[in-house]
Amino acid sequence: MKVSSNLSENERKKLEEKGYNMLPKMVMKKVYIADLSQHVGETVELRGWVYSKRSSGKIKFLILRDGTGLCQCIYFKGECEEQAFEEFEKLSQETSLIVTGIVKEEKRSPGGFEISARTLKIYGQSENYPIGPKEHGPDFLMNNRHLWIRSSQQHAALRVRAEIIKSIRDFFDGRGFTLVDAPIFTPSACEGTSTLFQTKYFDDTAFLSQSGQLYMEAAAAAFGKAYCFGPTFRAEKSKTRRHLIEFWMVEPEVAFNDLYDNMDLAEQFVEYIVQRVLKNKAAELKVLERNTVALEKVKAPFKRLHYKEACELILKENPEFKVGDDFGAPDETIVSSKFETPVFVHHYPSAIKAFYMKRDDKDPESSMSCDLLATEGYGEIIGGGQREESLEKLLSRIVEHKLKTEDFDWYLDLRKYGSFPHSGFGLGVERTVSWICGLSHVRETIPFPRLYGRLRP
């Protein structure tokens, strides 16, 4: 009698006891550690890398990682192949291998399951793996970033990053926004010329994008609600814990939204991201030892402060601050420390904002701008505001900022052909990851960071 090859180990044993000995060879199921709950009692095949190992007489313990989780594999002498016991002695950290065995529930094991292992096959030996349990300096770890991302905390942070990116897309896609990709090569500056990367573009000069905002203003005129999401570049010679040379930013733009509509959208957006990560990545936040009490309070509405009100708070603790200046990191920390949720600061001085920012009709010295400051001293994660829709005023601002009018011919067309009030903002992914994960430096928020003085790996 022909018997199906897709049987569990227990099912096969029962049939063999009844005399069905001519069973076809069972097809081994290749599974991921994250899916072991679906295969309890079955013989499966895991493929991955050595996370750690230890021996105790006739029992050997292997912790295997495969990118989806960790699993303990136990080898009992006499129950596993003799060759597996011999191969076990060759294992070193990060050696790649294949393990086969029976899945069992075990609450004390990583992930709640373990493998009663039968076989072991080494794929690639790993000798003298450079990153061990001892303390390593940041330069060493950054030089070995391609290996460091295998470690549990770095792995967890990047999985949170992936969830944040997915939540960003889901938020806007689910609210009728159209994704419109902005170019990386641009002919002109968006936020000043001092931090531009310049490159040869055949017989012309181009710059790496600082922002896709100007293009999203064009997209808003076409689609009403649009956003771009991609890498942006700032040639800042800064080595602070908040700055990267290359970072990712999402930038929505909405036709007929004013400054206050913009803040409404931004706070709904941030609440959605934070609550989504708390729900879907609790295990990763636990690995990162993130205290989530503050994050659980991130729910709209957020407190909104006029720039002048924020200055009053700053001056109480930093009397050397000059009203009219932009906020530095310590100033942002002073303001945000007074609130349990992120806080908006709006109506920054016009003099410190970009040429396209609309000025308040009632107070031209103030702009219709806003920043959102994260809790716990993580600083600005969102910057944006209402754009100037008047062609005449925009032309005068371009002159004031000593920019070339011809570089913005296409942008000015947006005011010539059906101008409209509109607003938008940019959220920096890495700063958001840093805040939600509780990381002290943005270099750990992106797989391969580009920092001032660092281009490798």
pLDDT in tens, 182-202: 999 998 766 656 688 999 999
Among the residues of 224-302, which ranges form H helices?
259-280, 282-287, 293-296
pLDDT in tens, 346-361: 999 999 999 999 999 9
Question: In whole angstroms, what is the distance from residue 346 CA to residue 305 CA?
Answer: 6
CATH number for 9-124 (one of 2.40.50.140, 1.25.40.10, 2.30.40.10, 2.40.50.180): it is: 2.40.50.140
Q: Which residue has the tokens 């101008």?
A: 419
Q: Which fold has domain 139-444?
A: BirA Bifunctional Protein; domain 2 (3.30.930)
Q: Cα-atom radius of gyration of the chain, to the nearest Å? A: 28
DSSP secondary structure letters along 173-214: HTTT-EE-PPPSEESS-SS-STTPPEEEETTEEEEE-S-SHH
Among the residues of 68-137, which ranges form H helices?
82-88
pLDDT, residue 23, reads 40
341: helix, strand or coil? coil
Delimit the domains of the chain by residue range. 9-124, 139-444
Cβ–Cβ < 8 Å for 259, 423: yes
Low-confidence ranges of the chain (pLDDT < 50): 1-5, 22-26
pTM of the model as a whole: 0.90
pLDDT, residue 12, reads 61
pLDDT, residue 365, reads 97
